[in-house]
Chains A and B, each alone.
Chain A
């Protein structure tokens, strides 16, 4: 990494840190001014959005170790910097533990006393279980992330294929462990926001959303750095074309399963299932649904059908950046209506919280990015890629 790029990254990092600290300070202020529940609801939304990005990096990195593919080598270091933030995200999770009663009906004894469903679930869904499961999933994610990064960096120092083999050996089971642990985590953190609601499709929507956020983020990062060494000599239109195809794939997949869940619940129309959507289309919330249908599916879908849009880097970056922001809206729509089930309410904390967590996330991302070469040069499978680019 050359000095001019390093100094620019340093500037972005400081700016992100300032935004992060200011945002979190505003959140703390908001907790006193606007009440505990609004604070925890907004913080949960902001936190989950950025955690999604880290977990998406984790999943895509393992996917790429298994499948290979030219698109993956050029974004590998972004993915690694993204999943190395998981331990920090575990730390940022701690404040939520103080707000369980504000966030979840199952943590409020008065509500459990009158709800037979929650009474039957109490053996699983209780504060102790919540904390134990959170500790376990963060321990699994962090230790796997640590191994993935360590072996990937070992590739840089040796021609021995052992680290490459180890990466693949971990990624195979990892691709099973990651969605499974994410399922348990998001049942606790997000699905239980609606106390009686459940959907077996929900964790899939979460995981695919994480993949989509990550691909969009990686396209923007690669686009921003494409003219810098070492990317300038390796990155070609083909990489962006492939990443654009992946973006299209996950846009379609997200729509497919999101609509699938809706169709099944809508067809059944059972009170404890439909409540999720009743809260999420109430009054002004339905406009968020319209925005999601338009900008989370139709617009990116049709734009990404055209090859020229995927091969022109500024165009693809704009589409990807746009999808990234619409992802924020999707996570907001997932969390916030549970706290305002009668109509839309956007509090200033809903802006401060994602900015606060996001600032810290970006600063940590750049910290990890700066530590190493931006390309996994010694991955045995990268050599033909470099040769091909020349």
Chain B
């Protein structure tokens, strides 16, 4: 039934970050889960208010870093001690101290690349089309207004009740977002 609904969700507009934070907390407490908040600058505590507790980014970074480090070390070990044995200054073929800088750099490189790519992937970015931009007022989300959007796919979402609920949060206005 919901797929036939051309409505993406309902959006409330707020004048400042405190109102947005308070509204988000109450919306979450009201049982809504599929919601997102938009503000021109990072608001401390907003992610928690939206129910975002944990993210998988640290784990992705750890795996990336370990892969880079182990891979970098193995690359050098294989090249220097197995595949192309080359006597440098009479040192052992497996001279681990000289492998450390590359191992370290590859750890950092792979960890930071996985952080960026992992963050983008988990945020499903880049996203060329998003319904929230169908609302003309939303342009001010990157200037001086704060928005809270409840998506129509939310199990608790019912058009008249949700609209009344959002209006009870004292927004500047409540708008319908077409998908």
Contact = CB atoms under 8 A, between A and B. Distances in A.
Which 10 residue pairs across A and B have the least CB separation, nearest first?
A266-B97, A263-B97, A259-B100, A263-B100, A267-B98, A269-B89, A262-B97, A263-B101, A263-B98, A267-B97
Contacts of B98: 263, 267
A151 to B, nearest CB: 33
Interface of B: 89, 97-98, 100-101
Interface string A228-270: 0000000000000000000000000000000100110011010
11 contacts: A259-B97, A259-B100, A262-B97, A263-B97, A263-B98, A263-B100, A263-B101, A266-B97, A267-B97, A267-B98, A269-B89
A263 B98 CA distance: 7
Contacts of B89: 269
A263 B101 CA distance: 9
Contacts of B101: 263
B89 to A, nearest CB: 7
Contacts of A266: 97
Nearest to B90: A269
Interface of A: 259, 262-263, 266-267, 269
Contacts of A269: 89
B48 to A, nearest CB: 14
Contacts of B97: 259, 262-263, 266-267
Contacts of B100: 259, 263
A237 B142 CA distance: 32
A299 to B, nearest CB: 17
B70 to A, nearest CB: 15
A386 to B, nearest CB: 18
A279 B45 CA distance: 54
A15 to B, nearest CB: 43
Nearest to A262: B97
Nearest to B89: A269
A285 B20 CA distance: 61
A263 B100 CA distance: 9
A50 to B, nearest CB: 32
Contacts of A262: 97
Contacts of A263: 97-98, 100-101
B82 to A, nearest CB: 22
B88 to A, nearest CB: 10
A259 B101 CA distance: 10
B80 to A, nearest CB: 14
Contacts of A259: 97, 100
